[in-house]
Amino acid sequence: MSKLDDEILALVKRVTEQAILPRFRNLAEGEVEDKGGDDPVTIADKESESLLREGLSRLDDAIGFVGEEAAHANPTVLERLDSACWIVDPIDGTRNFASGKPPFGIIIARAEGGLAQSGWIYDCLSGRFCVAHRGEGARVDSEQIVSHGSGRNPPVAAISLVFMEEARRQATRRHISPNYELVDIPYCAAEQYPRIALGENDVSIFERTLAWDHAAGALWLEEAGGKVARPDGTPYRVDEWNRKGLLGAATPALWDELAARYAEM
């Protein structure tokens, strides 16, 4: 791994040990809040983001910082996605973390020109570290990986219906679900993207496409040889924070098949 990868790994390990794991299954009353719409945040999310911001500023303080909790507190933070910035999800999978169960992780991306240029995904419990830099392929820890499908027929799909309007949920159930073997979503992009690339799942549909959830994972899956794009085939951009709908697949062929069915909705 590069020097930057080593520095990011050291940072996420330190933040995990200091801010996250001490509160796993150990949250006190009042340390979990609802941001609205069954979207929890914990004291560990806030402390993790503060430590990550501090650590990333030491690596490069010339670019902006877009953290999930900072953006929730002040939505104008999202305007920084138009320029060079760090993008951080301090605990991805907070719903799981707050319930005392896996998976959950830390996601960091470095973006410029509206596109993720680098991405890092750290599983706080297993220590799995996914790394990608644009044009350089994808790795898990120090091993280069190539995305591959599950080989199952029908293909395996994890479809997030959580943020869909009811009409779209029904259309998804009619036009897409019958063509796949459906599995539960992990409520954690830090887990879902590795599941696609490593052969556990074949495809996934995401309705909400916030940059801290998807910037690193979309880049990593694409660099592994999979495909992530909007349903119309346009690339995922971090600065399109209000746009809904994103399709991910282990291979371009699986993506094309899913997109054709999605277009029938």
The beta strand positions in 9-74, using DSSP E, are: 32-34, 40-42, 64-67
First-to-final CA distance of the chain? 43
Cα 18 to Cα 50, 101, 215: the distances in Å are 12, 19, 25
The strand order across the sheet containing 64-67 reads: 64-67, 85-92, 105-112, 115-123, 129-133, 138-140, 143-145
**CA–CA distance, 179 with 130 (Å, rounded to integer):** 30
- Strand 64-67 and strand 85-92: the pairing is parallel
> Does 68 appear as a known binding residue?
yes
Give the C-alpha separation, 155 to 180, whole Å: 5
| Residue 202 annotated in ligand binding | no
Q: How far apart are CA 211 and CA 84, in angstroms?
A: 13
- What is the C-alpha to C-alpha distance for residues 13 and 195, in angstroms, rounded to an integer? 22
For residue 105, list its beta bridge partners.
92, 123
3-class SS of residue 25: coil
Q: Report d(CA 39, CA 68) in Å as an integer.
A: 12
- 6 labelled ligand-binding: no
| 64 phi, psi to nearest 5 deg | -75, 170
Enumerate the known binding-site residues for Mg(2+): 68, 89, 91-92, 213
